[in-house]
């Protein structure tokens, strides 16, 4: 295997060392484990009991399919000897061609990453609000908008950490928190016991309502597996040589992450649904009221976790913005440039979060629209385009099954979610 000669000029090298994705390549395998846990176990886990009616089969299938597509991405990171695809769109360009690859991948990746960050702004704000209500019963009510601003203030500081390795500590804290609040969610549900008059039927009274709710639930499950959008960027931080490619340690990290994901998702969704049936809230911590100190603590854990997740999804966006500014528009790679662009991004996600805080509807909508392609079937299409497996071989069949499932998900999930957003918007007041 021949080493590729580095043909970059000194200026290009300096730029690559400045950009967040390519600047540090000394990550350990466990960095990949907690970055992946933080990226995957989003606050979406708290909405899973709500999506549970038909959900067990869908969740198990999703767990298997997404683990398979994630393996493909880890494998494809260095399939060209001596070259690394450090970003999702670089892999897309290799598979579909320079221009088309960009057009296919970048808009979807941006929808996912910016969408997740906006949803996390709302989640962080709501969890802070809930914490405030629980701890301080006699206090004056404070608008959700202000809590979202408080949550955003952390990001005005943290978003200036230069690259993935520098947020490893934040990410570790977030990964630990996700396990903690998931355990609290299902533990407190068991403690509370099955509710009187619990019902496991469908919540909607009409057939159409039932179908639409099912579609929306599919979107929420898709949202729960969104780690693929940052996986190549995380892998880019791991050192690699021809003898020891980065896929070894990365895959180790992914396996650990997926075990943690299963430990978080399956108990929360199944036990939460078993205890509350179809009356469970779209954030299970809201259904659990007591013991107050424990639920307050769980809400704070969610806040810490979402702070980490926000950063993981923001980093590739920062990388894209800074790449365009420095490489295309020839700005100098300075601290000032980074300070302005990143603060603008945080301010933008905060503003959109304050304006449209319909949590579960947004989840389902984005979930189907962009998560399904980037997570369920784009890796398979790239695999077919690059490796060209034999027709009707196991690899070929597996990829086509994933593609068909992913396309169905992409079509039906936004339909259900859009209906939910419309229903919620009827009663909605701006800037409450």
What are the φ and ψ backbone dihedral angles of 103, each rounded to 5 degrees? -65, -35
Q: Look-up: residue for tokens 């908008």? A: 145
pLDDT at 4: 47
In CATH terms, the fold of domain 10-425 is Amino acid/polyamine transporter I (1.20.1740)
Q: Rounded to whole angstroms, how far apart are CA atoms 42 and 155?
A: 17
Q: How many contiguous H segments (helices) and E segments (strands) does the chain have?
A: 16, 0
Could you report the per-residue pLDDT of 297-342, keeping only the tens digit for each?
A: 888 988 999 999 999 999 999 999 999 999 999 899 899 999 999 9
Could you report the per-residue pLDDT of 89-129, keeping only the tens digit for each?
A: 999 999 999 999 999 999 888 888 888 898 889 889 988 99
Rounded average pLDDT over 151-163 = 93
Most confident of 6-10, 263-267, 314-318, 354-358: 314-318
Q: Rounded to whole angstroms, how far apart are CA atoms 309 and 117?
A: 8
Look at residue 389 and give its three-state secondary structure.
Answer: coil
Task: Write the burial class of residue 24 (CB in 10 Å: 0-12 exposed, 13-18 middle, 19+ buried).
Answer: middle
Count Cβ atoms below 10 Å from residue 319 Cβ, excluding itself. 21
The pLDDT of residue 151 is above 90: yes
User: Angle CA(242)–CA(243)–CA(246) in degrees, nearest 5?
Assistant: 70
Rounded average pLDDT over 398-421 = 87
The domain locations on the chain are 10-425
The pLDDT of residue 2 is above 50: no
DSSP string, 185-234: HHHHHHHH-SPTT---S-S-SSHHHHHHHHHHHHHHHHHTT-THHHHHHH
Write down how long the chain is: 432
Cα 259 from chain centre:
17
Q: Rounded to whole angstroms, how far apart are CA atoms 305 and 98?
A: 36
* pTM for the full predicted model: 0.87
Count Cβ atoms below 10 Å from residue 30 Cβ, excluding itself. 15
388 Rama sector, left if φ>0, alpha if ψ -120 to 50, beta otherwise: left
DSSP symbol at 159: T
Q: Which residues of 67-91 are buried (b: 16+ CB within 10 A; e: fewer)?
A: bbbbbbbbbbbbbeeeebbbbbbbb
Q: Report how far apart, in Å, the C-alpha atoms of 353 and of each of 6, 156, 315 are.
A: 43, 15, 19
The pLDDT of residue 149 is above 50: yes
Share of the chain above pLDDT 70, in %: 86
Q: Report how far apart, in Å, the C-alpha atoms of 420 and of each of 24, 210, 231 are.
A: 43, 12, 31
Mean pLDDT of all residues in the chain? Answer: 84
- Nearest residue to 298 (alpha-carbon basis) of 181, 151, 124, 172: 181
Spell out where 52-92 has E strands: none
Q: Rounded to whole angstroms, how far apart are CA atoms 314 and 332?
A: 21
Task: Write the burial class of residue 327 (CB in 10 Å: 0-12 exposed, 13-18 middle, 19+ buried).
Answer: middle
């Amino acid at each position: 295997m021949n080493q590729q000669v580095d043909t970059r000029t000194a200026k290009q090298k300096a730029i690559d060392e400045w950009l967040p994705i390519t600047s540090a390549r000394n990550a350990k395998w466990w960095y990949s484990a907690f970055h992946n846990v933080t990226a995957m176990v989003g606050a979406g886990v708290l909405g899973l009991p709500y999506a549970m009616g038909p959900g067990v089969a869908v969740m198990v299938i999703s767990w298997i399919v997404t683990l398979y597509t994630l393996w493909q991405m880890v494998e494809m990171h260095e399939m060209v000897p001596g070259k690394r695809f450090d970003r999702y769109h670089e892999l897309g360009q290799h598979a579909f061609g320079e221009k088309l690859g960009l057009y296919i991948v970048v808009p979807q990746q941006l929808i996912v990453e910016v969408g997740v960050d906006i949803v996390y702004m709302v989640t962080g704000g709501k969890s802070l609000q809930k914490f405030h209500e629980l701890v301080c019963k006699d206090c004056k009510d404070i608008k959700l908008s202000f809590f979202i601003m408080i949550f955003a203030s952390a990001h005005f500081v943290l978003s200036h950490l230069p690259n993935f390795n520098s947020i490893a500590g934040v990410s570790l804290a977030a990964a630990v928190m996700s396990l903690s609040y998931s355990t609290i969610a299902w533990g407190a549900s068991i403690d509370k016991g099955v509710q009187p008059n619990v019902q496991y039927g469908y919540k909607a009274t009409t057939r159409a309502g039932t179908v639409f709710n099912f579609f929306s639930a599919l979107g929420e499950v898709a949202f729960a597996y969104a780690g693929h959008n940052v996986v190549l960027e995380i892998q880019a931080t791991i050192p690699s040589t021809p003898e020891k490619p980065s896929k070894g340690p990365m895959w180790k990290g992914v396996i650990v992450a997926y075990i943690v994901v299963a430990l978080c998702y399956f108990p929360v969704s199944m036990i939460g649904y078993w205890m509350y049936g179809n009356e469970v809230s779209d954030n299970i911590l809201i259904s659990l009221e007591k013991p107050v100190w424990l639920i307050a603590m769980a809400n704070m854990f969610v806040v810490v976790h979402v702070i980490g997740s926000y950063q993981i999804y923001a980093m590739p966006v920062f990388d894209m913005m800074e790449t365009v500014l420095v490489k295309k528009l020839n700005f100098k790679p300075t601290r000032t440039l980074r300070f302005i662009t990143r603060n603008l991004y945080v301010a933008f996600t905060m503003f959109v979060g304050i304006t449209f805080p319909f949590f579960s509807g947004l989840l389902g909508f984005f979930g189907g629209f962009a998560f399904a392609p980037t997570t369920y079937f784009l890796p398979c299409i790239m695999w077919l385009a690059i490796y060209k497996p034999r027709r009707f071989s196991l690899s070929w069949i597996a990829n086509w099954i994933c593609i068909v499932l992913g396309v169905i998900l992409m079509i039906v999930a936004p339909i259900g979610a859009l209906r939910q957003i419309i229903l919620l918007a009827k009663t909605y007041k701006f800037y409450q």
